[in-house]
Amino acid sequence: MSVLVLATENEGKLGEFLDLARHSGFDLISMRDAGFDGTIVEDGKTYEENALIKARAVHRQLGGWVLADDSGLSVDVLDGAPGIYSARFAGENASYHDKIAQLHDWLAPYPPASWQASFICAIAIIQPDGREEVVRGECRGLIAEHAAGSNGFGYDPIFFLPEYGQTMAQIDPAVKNQISHRARALALAAEILPHGLEGPGQPSRN
C-alpha cells in the first residue's frame, strides 16, 4: 500500500481525512508520524498558496506522495473574512469558542438572514516526481446565531445548512463526508491520485 503524507497538525482535519479515505489504496499518515520535523510558515495570500506552502515543505524533506489542505470560512457580508485567517484571526491561542464569539460580534450589525457563507478547502498534492496539482472545494451555508451539534470541529457548530435544517456539527458524519468542502475537494484530488481516495460512498462533485 502506498503512503500518502498529510501535511497537517490539526487533529480534526487528520481525523476527517482518515474517515474520507478509509477505503482508499493509500496508507494515510500525518507529517509528524512520517518524520517531518520542520516548521511551516503559512504566509500565502490564498488558500491555494498556503496549501502549496505546506505540501512543498513536507515534500522537500520527505519526498513521496504529499497532500496538504488549507481551509477556512468566508462570510459574504464581511467581504470574505475571516477567510485564510479563520484559524488565527482572533489570536494565535484563541479557542473556537472565542473565534465564534468574535465572528458573531462582527456580524452583529447585519441581519442574520444575510449571514451567508462558504466553507472553502484547497488541496495541494505533490507527486513523488515533484509534479504539483491544486484543487478547490466549497460548501455554501449560513452562519447560525447559536452553536448547535457536537460532531465535527472548528466552525461546524455555527455553519447552518438550510437544505438539511441542521448545522454541519449536527448532520450525520456520513452525510458530511458527502457534501463538505473537504469532501468535494478530495473528490477532485481523487482524480489525480493513482488509486483514488474515496470515503464512504463517492463524495459529491457538485
Question: What pLDDT score does 204 carry?
Answer: 36
The Cα 110–Cα 107 span in angstroms is: 6
Q: Is 79 a catalytic residue?
A: no
pLDDT (tens digit, 9 = 90+) per residue, 75-104?
999 999 999 999 889 888 899 999 999 999
Helices (H), the chain: 11-20, 47-62, 96-107, 173-179, 181-189
State how many domains the chain has. 1
pLDDT value of residue 202 = 39
180: in domain: yes
In a domain? residue 140: yes
Collect all residues with Cβ–Cβ distance below 8 Å to 37 and sequence separation of at least 6: 61
CA atoms of 79 and 77, how far apart (whole Å) = 5
Note whether residue 147 is domain-resident: yes
Question: Is 136 a member of any domain?
Answer: yes
Domain that holds residue 166: 2-189
Residue 206 placed within a domain: no
**Residue among 69, 70, 156, 172 flagged as catalytic:** 70
User: Residue 200: its pLDDT value, please?
Assistant: 37
Q: Beta strand pairing status for 82-83 and 65-75?
A: antiparallel
Residue 194 lies in a domain: no
Could you tell me which of 7, 11, 23 has the C-alpha nearest to residue 152? 11
Q: Is 190 exposed, middle or buried (0-12, 13-18, 19+ CB in 10 A)?
A: buried
CATH number of the CATH domain containing 138: 3.90.950.10
Helix, strand, or coil (residue 9): coil
Cα dihedral 58→59→63→66 (10° resolution): 90
Q: Is residue 182 part of a domain?
A: yes
Question: pLDDT digit of tens for each residue in the chain (206 aa)?
Answer: 688 899 988 887 788 777 766 666 778 899 999 999 999 999 999 999 999 999 999 999 999 999 999 999 999 999 999 999 998 898 888 999 999 999 999 999 999 999 999 999 999 999 999 999 999 999 999 999 999 999 888 999 999 999 999 999 999 988 998 899 998 998 888 888 765 444 433 333 33
C-alpha cell at 116: 451567508
The phi, psi pair for 28, rounded to 5°, reads -85, 130
pLDDT tens column, 171-185: 998 899 889 999 899
* Within-domain flag for 93: yes
